[in-house]
Homo-oligomer: A and B are copies of this chain.
Amino acid sequence: MLPKIGKYPFKAEAFRCNMLGYLPYQQMGNYMLDAADLHANERDFGMTYLMPRNLAWVLSRFSVEFTTMPRPAEPFTIETWVESTMRLFTSRNFRVTSGDHVCGYGRSVWAMIDTATRQPANILAVRDGEMTQWVDATIECPIDPPAKFRFTQQQRLVRTLETRFSDADINGHINSMRYIEHVLNLFNPEWHREHFVRRLDVSYMVESHCGDVLNFYLEESADAIGVRVTKNAAGTPDEADACRCRILI
């Protein structure tokens, strides 16, 4: 039997690093999603098993807390494991290391949906709940659980953009890490030079599609920055929450 924890090697390719010389959160996040995908597929509850059964994992929460990010050409390792599994949600954690150094940790919450009806599916019904055998709640993930920014009426619209072909990923939806990229792009290089984002919390609500318009609302509190991202489906005036982020610096 495979170990409960999966361990995957990656490398911070030079041309994926930002102008400050480190791998940005959206790139690290895509590597983390890849590690999750590999871990789940190797243990037979990944997309390879689910897709032919009209089931899919949907990312609901993604929280990351890093003290450093890999630099150009730096090899690093992503470890990932399942912390808990219930009927409607499962929690998966991450630890990212470079040599002996821990760069950061991640927590994610996933739902399962029926891809035909888009309705929630019962995770424990897959292979009679076999997924529970992979749960390990004893492995340490020393960062706070996913948290939300408390938005008030003070939020202000700071950007509107139309999503394009490269914003969508293999699922046909706007890639979950692209939201993070667009959110971090609300801040200019001088801001990034002065602030290293130490923690990001993202709650994903409704999926967007290529052509949808995204609106970014920003609000600052004493200790955090909140960004609410809404979408207008192509050609409609109706605004729905696509995701909400909390940024700690």
Contact = CB atoms under 8 A, between A and B. Distances in A.
Nearest to A20: B170
A166 B211 CA distance: 20
A170 B17 contact: yes
A185 interface: yes
Interface string A169-199: 1111001010001001101110010000000
Q: How large is the interface on A (under 10, 10 to 19, 20 to 34, 35 or more residues)?
A: 35 or more
Nearest to A26: B166
Contacts of A103: none
Interface stretch (A28-36, A105-113, A121-129): A28-36
Interface in A193-214: 210-211
B189 A168 contact: yes
A157 interface: no
A224 interface: no
Given A15-B170, A34-B15, A170-B19, A188 B175 contact: no
A114 interface: no
- A30, A165, A187, A189, most chain B CB atoms within 10 A: A165
Nearest to A172: B19
Contacts of A185: 164-166
A72 B14 CA distance: 22
Given A13-B30, A15-B33, A30-B16, A181 B166 contact: yes
A33 to B, nearest CB: 5
A189 B162 CA distance: 13
A240 to B, nearest CB: 20
Contact of A210 (B72, B73, B188): B188
B18 A177 contact: no
Given A18-B165, A24-B166, A166-B185, 16 more contacts: A13-B31, A13-B34, A14-B33, A15-B34, A15-B175, A15-B177, A17-B169, A19-B165, A19-B168, A19-B169, A19-B171, A19-B210, A26-B166, A165-B192, A189-B210, A189-B211
Interface of A: 13-19, 21, 24, 26, 30-31, 33-34, 37, 72-73, 164-166, 168-172, 175, 177, 181, 184-185, 187-189, 192, 210-211
